[in-house]
Copies of this chain bind each other. A is one copy, B any other.
Amino acid sequence: MSNTDNKQTQSWIHIPAESDFTIHNFPYGVCEKSNGLIACCTRLGDTVINLNQLLKLGYLKAVALPENVFQGTTLNEFISQGRHKWKALRSRLITIFDKNNLELQHNIQDRESICTPITDVKMLIPIKVGDYTDFYSSKEHATNVGKMFRPDEPPLKPNWTHMPIAYHGRSSTIVTTKEKIRRPLGQIVNHESHVPELAFTKALDIELEMGFITSDANLIGEPVPVNKAHEFIFGMVLLNDWSARDIQKWEYVPLGPFLGKNFATSISPWIVTMDALENFKTDLPVKNHTPLEYLKKHNDFTYDINLEVDIISSGLSTTIIKSNYKYLYWSISQQLAHHTINGCKVNAGDLMGSGTISGSDQGSFGSLLELSWAGSKLIKLDDGTTRTYLEDMDIVVMRGKCERDGIRIGFGELSNQIISGTPMPDSSSKD
């Protein structure tokens, strides 16, 4: 337990019993008020706390932040301040909102300008993502996909146990909770004619992932050592790597997934910091063999984060996945060390997805591809319908929660609804 986190700490702000946003959390986000004002914020219970206002009114003097650090519409500027400032702000927030601290508690006017009910704001994407990388760090997921996509080969490629395999994703289509996901068009091979045609995906899928967000980690040409990597990781989000399996299957050789993935990636609006996650460290799975020296971290660890995915259909919610972040084979330190071993530059606001998180039992598989075993098994929902892949109007909800020794934090919800695709573009008009 970190020294500023005392589990007895209580806040003067009301925190509902089951809230993810306890005084042990203090995640960061960006919200828009009904008057259109956009603000960097944190959250306690159901109260959103305006960080720019807190700074302007002098409550953060001890943290010595630049006065414009929260004036933008993303958290990138704050993330660029680095680990010491992140820790200092967290510590200060825990103090200000402690029930024994009266400075803001008893200043009604300041409280009103700083605090807003969560129901009065809309959450926005909290960062301007520079580059987005997606890893492939679940052994169970990689094995399952290999069995389905390449049935005549060993499921795991020979490189998989030697390095955290990854590929680049698309930053321009990263969205957050409540945004609709439009069913994409693409080239799909017709089962009967065996030729590709343009059609809406019939295999729209989710991937249960988490992502971490980095600060400025290095210069071009300079690897980040595995034992220092953790210093450059700001926090984590839930991530849904939306996938169109039929588009992906046809296009992905030899250069990897492209249009089967880049129509949308959604991340949860609250970034839970690594400092808040500190209480929930746990061991990594045992590795089959020792990795190369640059991937060996002293006392490496991962996090115990319970993950769930629901599908809401006809207003009824069915939990289809129960999984845990700790199943991943490679740690975030190993991922960042590998990503930079060739000198690749990592900036503040870069996003690194974990890859689909699957456990060993079927209920923990992190995609419909795996749950329906490539469409061959039906997934039963509580409204009496079944799914192999997603249908229009389905709402997918991801949640992540940590609990240990009476301390509890969570990521809130990442919820997105599927909408039908747009008609094909009219290609008859001349330019």
Contact = CB atoms under 8 A, between A and B. Distances in A.
A7 B224 CA distance: 54
A220 interface: yes
Contacts of A146: 254
Contacts of A346: 172
Interface in A409-430: 421-422, 424-430
Contacts of A253: 157, 159
Contacts of A428: 227
A425 B428 CA distance: 57
B296 A166 contact: no
Contact of A344 (B170, B294, B344, B347): B170
A222 interface: yes
Interface in A178-213: 182, 184-187, 196-198
B247 A342 contact: yes
Contact of A226 (B223, B244, B427): B427
A59 interface: no
A220 B182 CA distance: 9
A265 to B, nearest CB: 11
Contact of A198 (B130, B252, B255, B292): B292
Contacts of A343: 173, 182, 184-185, 263-264, 421-422
A224 B425 CA distance: 7
A259 B342 contact: yes
A25 B287 CA distance: 58
B254 A344 contact: no
Given A173-B220, A223-B424, A427-B226, A186 B342 contact: yes
Contacts of A86: none
A350 interface: yes
